[in-house]
Amino acid sequence: MKLFLNLLFASLFVCAAFAGLPLQAQTLQPKLKVIGEKQADELLGSVVRVKARSLPDARSNATLGSQREGSGVIIDDRGHILTIGYLVIEADAIEVTTADGKTSPATLVGYDHGSGFGLLRAVLPLGAKPIDLGTSTELALREPVMVAPHGGREFVNLAYVVSKRQFAGSWEYLLDSAIFISPPTLAWAGSALISREGKLVGIGSLLVRDSEEAGTPLPGNMFVPIDLLKPILADLIDKGRVSGPPRPWLGMATEELQGRLFVTRVSPEAPADKAGVRRGDIVVGVGADAVTTQVELYRKLWSLGPAGTEVPLKVLQGASVKEIKVRSIDRTEYFRAKPTL
């Protein structure tokens, strides 16, 4: 394995000769030329295809569609598969397939909205060796990594870690230290981010335009760091969710534009919708505190208390500022769930 990985990353280190150039100008897409070792097949064999069909009345169908496909990674001998949660939220049926064609139904074991991880369990033995978990905090900038979607070694992409920084998503989502890589892969959803040591250090989440620095154009992917899984894995397996009081959720998406925080979508029948928040409103504060960014909004919202807390949201509607009291809920109460078997 060590020999394979050394050879595999050799082409990346050739690119390091161009380190004096701006990152945007570098050629960061070396090709994988060393294939065929048994250890390589075992490593990449831990990555499976995940296909999910959502419930017919799933609320997430409006944004995610009813047929979803991506990747997942086998992480233990009990058939647990780690993926990105949006592939399997409100799933009616889930199927996983290995690189050598073995297929099994899978059940949704747990979902963590805070990290975005979804945890599955294959019903039938897949015969694939699980991947070891690495330590994502040890990843260094410019470190070469493998991005492995399902399908085996011919689908592997090589990339660099270009930044590790805070990421705020429009859907009331915040990571303190997301991993950004470039060049991007188009098969990012649930793909494995693999370190030089052959260990799993992240799960693919998004395609982004500014992977190196917020606001600076450089296409790449955002990965959820594997270190977020370790303290919650036992809870996901035993309880299906993380212990402790759930965060308050409003059900609205926002976007930062010219120093203002615009509401871009309000989920139907979610707390914000019921309270009267509308698309196009500008969020200006929570209680007495002004907010102009997603990070400010989320941190203030989550500091008020657990789900169920009343949130005094201040929004600009038309020409007037209104205080709208929104009774928050646990996000899991909004989305529908059904056993997959």
SS3 at position 286: strand
For residues 4 and 329, give the distance between their C-alpha atoms in angstroms, rounded to a whole number. 49
For residues 282 and 256, give the distance between their C-alpha atoms in angstroms, rounded to a whole number. 10
pLDDT in tens, 65-97: 999 999 999 999 999 999 999 999 999 999 999
| Residue 132 confidence (pLDDT) | 96
| Residue 7 confidence (pLDDT) | 46
pLDDT in tens, 3-48: 445 445 444 433 433 333 344 434 444 433 343 467 778 899 999 9
Domains located in the chain, CATH noted: 1-244 (2.40.10.120), 252-334 (2.30.42.10)
pLDDT in tens, 133-145: 999 999 999 999 9
Residue 118 reports pLDDT greater than 90? yes
Counting residues of the chain whose pLDDT is more than 70, the rounded percentage is: 88
pLDDT in tens, 168-224: 999 999 999 999 999 999 999 999 999 999 999 999 999 999 999 877 899 999 999
Burial code (b: 16+ CB inside 10 Å, e: under 16) for 74-84 equals: bbeeebbbbbb
For residues 222 and 164, give the distance between their C-alpha atoms in angstroms, rounded to a whole number. 9
